[in-house]
Structure 1
Amino acid sequence: MATFFGEILPVISRAVDDDEEEESFENLETSVKLKWKKEVKEELEVTKDEKLQVDAFVLAIGPAATGFTQTYVTHQNYEIIGALFCGMKEDDVNTFGQTSPTDKTCYIYRKCDYPSALVCECNYDVRPEYAHSFVNQLMSCLNLSEGHVVILSSAFTSEYKSEIPTSDMNPPFLRALKTAPFMGTPLCPYLEQPNVVTGLPAQVMTYCHIHKVKAVLYVCYTDTIHLDFATMKTFQPLVETTPIHLIREKNTKASETLKKIVDLHTKHSTLYL
């Protein structure tokens, strides 16, 4: 059964026996690999509950959200401390050095002068069947009892349900959801019913709801299938919100950084045309 956030849960056909079903779920779990740098592993081992203390955590999902954080947050004074590898095949490279815009790595960054601030950048959309394992492996390593979580993601306007015609929506635009412990007011309107959030963003919000973590989700609705400046810049006002304003790094060359990111994705998208 889906929760009130409407995430997609992995569904296995009933036309299999119990052994086949159990094996299918095991394969989903083992398809997500969480790896920490050696020094972080040592930190986890000496903590009482084997969790990193986190006061601010930003999870960017998809190229637009990741482009925003790469430009305005993690472009300097951050270090990679871990990575999640999703849906890896036997011939896929499983290292900390992947840089392709379509790689299957979600990097975890830590602010050098603020160790309790983490950013996880998923340069691609994690498939719904991996979302549960992804969230459990990542969030179980973080102590967020006093922390704030921000999830950034994007979706197409074709998925947005409204009485307003699509032609009058003026995309891209932001909508938000939050958990009850998050006492602040989101910077944009709340996501209206009957719209729902699915996949990884929904799994993270559900986890935060169950564990009473302060969390807010911002979804950017766009009408383009290609990464562009407008979609990434839709997130820009969020640099003044909690907790992003505490962990951002000013970038005097933000426009250049955005252009490089768009060019990289455009080059990859047209490579096989």
Structure 2
Amino acid sequence: MASYYGEILPVISRSADDEEDDEFAPQPRPLIVKTTSPSKDCETLCDCLVVTVGEVAWRFAESFFDLSRENKWADVEETRDEDHVGYEAISKSPKIAISFHTVSSGQRKTTFAVCKGHNPPEQIWPVTNKILGIPRGYKEVFVLSSSPVQEYKCDDPALLEAPFVKSLATSPSPTEHPIYPTLEQPNMFKNIVAAVISRCHILRVPAIAYVCFTENIHIDPASVLSLNQLLNTTQFRTAKDVGLASKDIVRLVANSHAKHGSLYT
């Protein structure tokens, strides 16, 4: 077989290559659900499901909705085996892929599925199945995340003023949601965000994703507060004072920067 440049190349079967790739590809690790509340069946019922991916979204939810041990009812942990020696060496405790919290406001219940850590490609769909499969009764899904502004594609990057938020909704979309600009092509969502939105679109569950594009390596107040338009909607109505929560965000961010301030920590 001749290549574009003219040299002769051996013909290789793609089917054989695919089999070899599958053989050596990382396999998804099993996920175990561990309940932390005795009233699990009651806690799994909710009106709205909010998925937070990454630290910016987690800090937003934690500050405005006071996610704590008291309202956490389940953790989803990755199992470990002898094939993951490197992971064993890094951490002796199991990795928590998802934490579920339920927050009540009047007669309305909102479940938060918190994903703090990074999920490798082989874990994307198993984690997504747990996120959408464990809570029950929800009619709408909101996905909050963040991404480096360097990954955002546009004609003139010099005009970008980070942080900014882009959104993408399924059809049908949630009944009430803030109007952030729609994510333009060729940009696209990745990983857990893309998987959750795709699955909701297939299942005809109204869903919308919000991604904050930030230019800072570490978390900053402006990035967290860029999502505060959500607080004007019924789904995100909270009894916590917005002004006090904003101060909490600044305090949390300052402490986070202090931890990363040393070259040796």
Could you say whether these structures have the same fold, taking a TM-score greater than 0.5 normalized by the shorter chain as the test? yes
Q: Distance in 2 between matches of 1:194 and 1:62?
A: 23
Structure 1 residues 88-116: Cα deviation after superposition (integer angstroms, max 9, x where no partner): 6445324xxxxxxxx74532111256574
Give secondary structure in 2 for the equivalent of 1:237. Answer: helix
* Conserved 8 A contact 1:61-1:153: yes
Which structure 2 residues correspond to residues 13-52 of structure 1 after superposition, within 5 A?
Answer: 14=18, 16=20, 20=23, 24-25=26-27, 28-30=28-30, 32-41=31-40, 43=41, 52=44
Deviation per CA, 1:127-182: give whole Å up to 9, x if none: 333121101123112234x511110000111111111x222111100100111121
2:111 is the counterpart of 1:118: yes
Specify whether residues 249 and 128 from structure 1 end up closer, same or farther in structure 2 by C-alpha distance, changes over 3 A only.
Answer: farther
CA distance in 2, matches of 1:66, 1:168: 28
Change (3 A) 1:87 1:195: farther
Equivalent position of 2:139 in the other structure? 147
Name 2:170's counterpart in structure 1: 179
Structure 2 CA distance for partners of 1:112 and 1:185, relative to 1, 3 Å: closer
Which residue does 2:54 correspond to in 1?
A: 62
Alpha-carbon contact 2:178-2:229 (below 8 Å) kept: no
Report deviation, 1:73. 1.6
Kindly indicate whether residue 220 of structure 2 is the aligned counterpart of residue 228 of structure 1. yes
Structure with the larger RCO, 1 or 2 (CA within 8 Å, 6+ apart) = 1
Q: Is the partner of 1:249 in helix, strand or coil?
A: coil
The answer on whether the counterparts of 1:150 and 1:243 sit within 8 Å (CA) in structure 2 is no
Question: Partner amino acid for 1:134?
Answer: V
1:64 partner SS: helix
Q: Distance in 2 between matches of 1:249 and 1:150?
A: 20
Corresponding residue number in structure 2 for 1:266: 257
**TM-score of the aligned structures, taking structure 1 as reference length:** 0.75
2:66 matches 1:74: yes
Name the SS for the 2:213 alignment partner.
Answer: strand
Residues 1:197 and 1:237: Cα distance change in structure 2 (over 3 Å):
same
Kindly provide the amino acid, as one letter, of the partner of residue 80 in structure 1: K
Deviation at 1:35, TM superposition (A): 2.1
Q: Secondary structure at the match of 1:209?
A: helix
Task: State the superposition RMSD in angstroms.
Answer: 2.9
SS for the counterpart of 1:227 is coil
Q: Conserved in 2, the CA contact under 8 Å of 1:77 and 1:111?
A: no
Q: What does residue 202 of structure 2 align with?
A: 210
**1:122 Cα deviation after fit:** 2.1
Q: How far is 1:211 from its partner?
A: 1.1
Structure 2 alignment gaps of length 5 or more: 1-16, 81-86
Judged with a 3 Å threshold, the aligned counterparts in structure 2 of structure 1 residues 260 and 244 are, in CA distance, closer, same or farther, namely same
Instruction: Please identify runs of 4+ aligned residues in structure 1 that moved more than 6 A.
Output: none
Instruction: Confirm or deny: 8 A CA contact 1:128 1:200 kept in the other structure.
Output: no
Q: Per the alignment, do residues 115 and 129 of structure 1 end up closer, same or farther by CA in structure 2, a change over 3 Å counting?
A: farther
1:47 paired residue number: none
Shift of 1:254: 1.6
Matches of 1:158 and 1:236, distance apart in 2: 23
1:93 matched to which residue of 2? 93
* Conserved? CA contact 1:110–1:118, under 8 Å: yes
In 2, Cα distance between equivalents of 1:206 and 1:220: 19
Q: 2: CA distance between counterparts of 1:264 and 1:112?
A: 29
Assess, with a 3 A threshold, how the Cα gap between structure 1 residues 24 and 268 changes in structure 2: closer, same or farther: same
Cα distance change on mapping 1:76 and 1:92 into 2, 3 Å: closer
* Native 8 Å contact 1:77 1:249 kept in 2: no
Once the two structures are TM-superposed, the CA of residue 184 in structure 1 deviates from its matched residue by 4.3
Distance 1:140 1:202, change over 3 A: same
Query: Does the 8 A contact of 2:225 with 2:246 survive in 1?
Result: no
Q: How far apart are 1:208 and its partner, in Å? A: 0.8
| Equivalent residue pairs, number | 238
For structure 1, which runs of at least 5 residues remain unmatched after alignment?
Answer: 1-12, 45-50, 95-102
